[in-house]
Structure 1
């Protein structure tokens, strides 16, 4: 292991003259070294961020590590606008980092979430020195998980994320007036601490009073409505083929950007780029093998990876292959398979050659009369299920692939309090005679009607164990414009999973119209989200008979033949 020196707040001048600052970690002997760069808005010296990045440990393994505060954040100059400058600043920073003393001229980028996206934006700008990227838990289409989902605002992340980023803004804004600074921070933190009971509920959701109250930028939902073209500043979807680089994609089944990770990998493979995928039983920040109510086992953690070693070490071995292939390596890492999946339910890692799995068979499960869920189609006259959705009393967010304030835990969680509500239709299968593996993307197809001009449809897939405990696996939402009283087809994308329903367990599906505050409430009035403050209840119906079926489609993996 090498000794390391650290140089703090090293300036890099962007094309418009704005100075961004980075900490640079250099091995003290040998070299030249490949460069690993990350660009983030959360403070490069924040203890939690520093511990997560592990820059000293990476440098001791023979990399020159650069950790930069993005524009307008912490040590860097300029104005903070989420996403807007990351492509140009990413390009300029890669070129600057490649020329640092001790660099071998090859740069890789690493990091998660926002700083997974800064990798993509830099890669799309095509700096010649950038040789590989390793984005973790990041999105593809911002309208599918970052700003919105199925047309509904991702309120759960938008409000607390924007308030947290506001702290540095207020520190800068009132730097010369300690009294005003303290008061502004106290007010903002008060809103942040009470977000579950106050700010999440404020209206209009599409022009949120809390952002105006503090004068801070929001995550991007509101701006993307005012300036649709601006969303391109953080959109990866449709552009992956422009990136001619190897990529390592890491995600979690209960991460808010689960599907984005899968979509980015799939697009890179389709474009013929060298790409690898790792999907664990993780949330956005929870990677230790215990999530929600479920212990997936120590081997599920990023520290063990099914006895393959630490994820961080696997990533470094992959980077070395692309940034310094001729370098001596005292501890070479095993070659990663194209796809490494954690299959929940049986709690095992499994190597695959592609995603999605070509052997998956789309299999219908029908919503039937009597709250049944069955593989056989409904018969004539099975009628409808009905409930009343009241935006003043929405179904509370209970687990899932989410990133919210601390009151709302991600992952698989007991759904008893959700299933006890009168505004949730619950359909349950018979106990399974044998294990059933579902690996891939899941969609629901409802035949639905409402008496409102617009409403939401939410579908959730659950596993009911032999003790009768129901836990969520995936869910989704669609915001629908409706002709009151008319049955129409609604498609709800529940995203993807890899899960084995064990023999003796039952499959369960929820149908409802809210999941709040994960997604903003549809007020059922038809008012624009930027203006809506009035709400009304809506009478909802789900058809489940032969001529108007409703179903969920599962990608079922056939059991291997005996002897295989």
Structure 2
């Protein structure tokens, strides 16, 4: 899902020419019942064997392009005995039809599987794999209930990640930009799309981009009234009613991990619960791994030699999983149900997620009078202060707190030192004490807090950081919520997502709380106007309760209690 950036003054550049079709592919235009034709490539093993299980991938990013390296994936799967079908989704690259995200994938996927099982090389079984939007197309195919679909491998995705476009969610701008990059044209847009100024909303888009505003408006409305979910899944969301085996794969720094793990939890209560497997790595959306120096050892997105080394890590376990369920072997796949990597440590196995061998630790935000006094600010302590206090700052929409990560989708290409942000007068920080021995945070993390603002609502943005002995602060998790303050102080629960993270000796935890983080999140105007169409703004006073019965508290699932 990563996008590139250019000087926004030049406007977008259209990627109008798909990459050449791979010489090993048998290309066809698959005609659907409504007459639309979908560009479809078939890769078969050189052995010429018939009666093959098939792996289907349906994606909007060019089935022949280097970004998704599908020809290399197909060759690797062919070598392991699978036929492979790769398809441009409706309206993208070589495929015909009208573009709109999500809504056509169930029906189009069902008809594509119909076509596959009618081919002479098919044994009548189909599995699917893929990342991000082509993880969503798997969930859509599950919802279509095709009997030939036997197993899926959704990675860094979620069946309902479109919920992030709901009006009640703080808009995450990289996701909105992804929609425009991907679904405005039959190709992919190159360059900045959304305005780069904090309050330059959709009304400030240049004339050539008015159709982009229409696309976003239609998407937000359809998500807000439930139309998008109903059109995408006419029979209802697929995860709670899951009947197929699934290997859920994600990363702790993937910005869709909350949606991914929501699916895991829902499917865990489904009829196929025993055949759900989870793999979580210390990786981001592009599957780059966490490195201490912040520089990936292998960048498989650009380096062909690195791609050759990456393919086994990407595909070997999915191949074993798909081979078991597509071959008709009896019983459950013989593998650990949950395998996860503790960042700064190693891999562990479990029979469930969240795991059970942790203590829920509450760290209270204290010493609020110091929260704006420097990078360390106030304190995180096991007990709350007896009497409540508060800390206040001014949210200036024209001077938002900056987001320092260069590319949201590939955060681990270089996690920045955040301490430069923590000395601002509009970022409240609370830092814990260093520990003599390591401890692991394993599971979902959340913050409960009480906020007020001299505006009808405000954004509450919370970041959990690992503070090094040197003072360097590295982001572990983040989350945001909208607080309605029209009737006074509001109690807010901020989900930061899940992690498995080792805090090493001499390191400390820090919470950073602010009302903005741009350009990660849309900036609140400080008044009652819609942030997308605000014609004015005002600096708004924000107040956070610290200590007492309604003070802020950080809830951590921890192995080894903090002292």
- How far did 1:351 drift? 1.3
Q: Which residue, out of 31, 35, 43, partners 1:17?
A: 35
Q: What residue number does 1:430 align with?
A: 433
Q: What residue number does 2:525 align with?
A: 523
Contact 1:18 1:77 in 2 (8 A): yes
Q: What residue number does 2:7 align with?
A: none
Q: What residue number does 1:447 align with?
A: 450
Paired with 2:358 and 2:207, the residues of 1 have a C-alpha distance of 46
Are positions 1:154 and 2:172 aligned together?
Answer: yes
Instruction: Give unmatched runs, 5+ long, in structure 2.
Output: 1-21, 300-305, 371-376
Q: Secondary structure at the match of 1:48?
A: coil
Q: Secondary structure at the match of 1:417?
A: helix
With over 3 angstroms needed to count, the CA separation of the structure-2 counterparts of 1:276 and 1:304, relative to structure 1, is farther
Q: What residue number does 2:82 align with?
A: 63
Matches within 5 A, 1:407-426: 412-426=415-429
Q: What residue number does 1:254 align with?
A: 253
- How far did 1:286 drift? 3.6
Aligned length: 520
With over 3 angstroms needed to count, the CA separation of the structure-2 counterparts of 1:302 and 1:455, relative to structure 1, is farther
Matches within 5 A, 1:379-398: 379-381=385-387, 383-398=389-404
- How far did 1:376 drift? 2.9
Paired with 2:105 and 2:205, the residues of 1 have a C-alpha distance of 25
Contact 1:40 1:115 in 2 (8 A): yes
Paired with 1:223 and 1:341, the residues of 2 have a C-alpha distance of 37
Q: Which residue, out of 315, 318, 325, partners 2:318?
A: 315
- How far did 1:368 drift? 0.3
Paired with 1:278 and 1:205, the residues of 2 have a C-alpha distance of 42
With over 3 angstroms needed to count, the CA separation of the structure-2 counterparts of 1:488 and 1:481, relative to structure 1, is closer
Q: Secondary structure at the match of 1:217?
A: helix
Q: Which residue, out of 543, 548, 554, partners 2:545?
A: 543
Contact 1:288 1:302 in 2 (8 A): no
Paired with 1:360 and 1:150, the residues of 2 have a C-alpha distance of 32
Contact 1:399 1:409 in 2 (8 A): no
Q: Secondary structure at the match of 1:132?
A: strand
Q: Which residue, out of 554, 557, 562, partners 1:555?
A: 557
With over 3 angstroms needed to count, the CA separation of the structure-2 counterparts of 1:515 and 1:433, relative to structure 1, is same
Q: What residue number does 2:269 align with?
A: 270
Contact 1:162 1:219 in 2 (8 A): no
Paired with 1:247 and 1:117, the residues of 2 have a C-alpha distance of 13
- How far did 1:8 drift? 3.6
With over 3 angstroms needed to count, the CA separation of the structure-2 counterparts of 1:66 and 1:264, relative to structure 1, is same
Paired with 1:421 and 1:524, the residues of 2 have a C-alpha distance of 19
With over 3 angstroms needed to count, the CA separation of the structure-2 counterparts of 1:234 and 1:159, relative to structure 1, is same
Paired with 1:519 and 1:419, the residues of 2 have a C-alpha distance of 18
TM-score, L = length of structure 2? 0.84
Q: What residue number does 1:177 align with?
A: none
Contact 1:254 1:400 in 2 (8 A): no
Matches within 5 A, 1:449-464: 449-464=452-467
The Cα offsets for residues 265-320 of structure 1, whole Å up to 9 and x where unpaired, read as 2222222420111111111114245488377999xx99889xx9623111111111
The Cα offsets for residues 213-267 of structure 1, whole Å up to 9 and x where unpaired, read as 6687349743435753223445799531323100011101111111122121222
- How far did 1:50 drift? 2.7
- How far did 1:87 drift? 0.8
Contact 1:148 1:154 in 2 (8 A): no
Q: What residue number does 1:533 align with?
A: 535
Instruction: Give unmatched runs, 5+ long, in structure 1.
Output: 171-187, 328-333, 560-564
Q: Which residue, out of 345, 353, 356, partners 2:354?
A: 356
Q: Secondary structure at the match of 1:162?
A: helix
The Cα offsets for residues 96-144 of structure 1, whole Å up to 9 and x where unpaired, read as 1122221111000111111100000011110111011111110243355
With over 3 angstroms needed to count, the CA separation of the structure-2 counterparts of 1:410 and 1:142, relative to structure 1, is farther
Paired with 2:470 and 2:354, the residues of 1 have a C-alpha distance of 32
TM-score, L = length of structure 1? 0.84
Q: What residue number does 1:181 align with?
A: none
Q: Which residue, out of 503, 506, 512, partners 2:505?
A: 503
- How far did 1:168 drift? 2.7
Are positions 1:93 and 2:115 aligned together?
Answer: no
Are positions 1:163 and 2:162 aligned together?
Answer: no
Q: What residue number does 1:330 align with?
A: none
With over 3 angstroms needed to count, the CA separation of the structure-2 counterparts of 1:302 and 1:343, relative to structure 1, is farther
Q: RMSD over aligned Cα, in angstroms?
A: 3.3
Q: What residue number does 1:340 align with?
A: 339
Q: What residue number does 2:480 align with?
A: 477
Q: Which residue, out of 118, 130, 148, partners 1:129?
A: 148
- How far did 1:372 drift? 3.1
Paired with 1:470 and 1:214, the residues of 2 have a C-alpha distance of 37
Paired with 1:260 and 1:208, the residues of 2 have a C-alpha distance of 33
